[in-house]
Structure 1
Amino acid sequence: MSPLVALLFVIGLVVVASAAGVVVSRRSGRIRQVASGSLDTSGLGIRLGSGATLVLFSTEFCTRCPSMKRMLHSIADTADDLAIAEVDLTHRAHVASDLHILQTPTTFVLDGAGHVRARFGGTVARDAVIAELDQITGASHALA
């Protein structure tokens, strides 16, 4: 292989990897509205809150999951009508496949009836989660 072909191959590889990185970073932390659909909470061991439920999907190897878990718990502690659940996908790949979860952390926001109203892929800003909860429950979950 000539040095010119090798150089062009390396440049092409860098361009493709950079483009993939940009796509992944732009999708991370963004809210995705979900049309409708219920989550089988009984099979996952999730207890629903009367107003809303935050479901954090994580793995043992997820480095960003503990900070998301702390943030979601601090939000859930602001109101009695909120519940939080964590589902470890490490040994439950079928759950990730069924729910189309491609990254951890992924957070689902369920309404009081267990319908998935939104999902966040990756880490997300506290304000975005609170805004979604406020929209679902009609109450303010901002910290005083």
Structure 2
Amino acid sequence: MSPLLALGIIAALLALTVIIGLVVRRRDGRRRTGGALQFDPLDAPAAEWGSRATLVQFSTEMCARCPQVRRMLSGYAADDGGLRHVEVDLTHRPDLSARYRVLQTPTTFVVDDTGAVRARFHGVPQRHALTEALAAF
């Protein structure tokens, strides 16, 4: 293989990696619909559920951004009496990642009082998107 061809392949792979990274970063933290997904309260048995909505955060022990999300969601729950924050550690419950299709941590669900997932956020939720999702309740 010629050095020029190898350099061209490396440049193409680098460009592809940058494009994929930008797409993933752009989608991170945006609101998505929950679809027909139902959250089972037995998956977080010690949790106190909100009368209006519950913010369910999926995290792991090694997650670098999870403490930031925990502080943000706890702040939302402290400001609203009908809202609660529940954290589910996927380190100890890896079966839940497949059940709820959680591919990265942190992932946050906005769950109504019936257990229906109304919105989901991958990564750190954007504040305005989280506020809009909660305003629907």
Structures share fold, TM-score greater than 0.5: yes
Shift of residue 130 of structure 1?
A: 1.9
Aligned-CA RMSD value: 1.4
Deviation per residue, 1:59-97 (Å, 9 max, x gap): 111111101100100110112211110011123322112
- Structure 2: how far apart are the matches of 1:115 and 1:50? 13
Q: Distance in 2 between matches of 1:75 and 1:63?
A: 20
TM norm structure 2: 0.91
Structure 2 unpaired stretches of 5+: none
1:29 equivalent in alignment to 2:14 = no
Distance 2:80 2:38 in 1: 23
TM-superposed deviation, 1:125: 2.3
Please give the TM-score of this superposition, normalised by the length of structure 1: 0.87
Aligned ranges 1:50-129 → 2 under 5 Å: 50-129=51-130
Structure 1 gaps of 5+ residues are: 137-144
Matched residue count: 136
Matched residue SS, 1:17? helix
Sequence identity of aligned pairs in percent?
45
> Runs ≥4 in structure 1, deviation > 4 angstroms?
none
How many Å separate the matches in 2 of 1:26 and 1:123? 12
Aligned 8 A contact 1:48 1:114 in 2: no
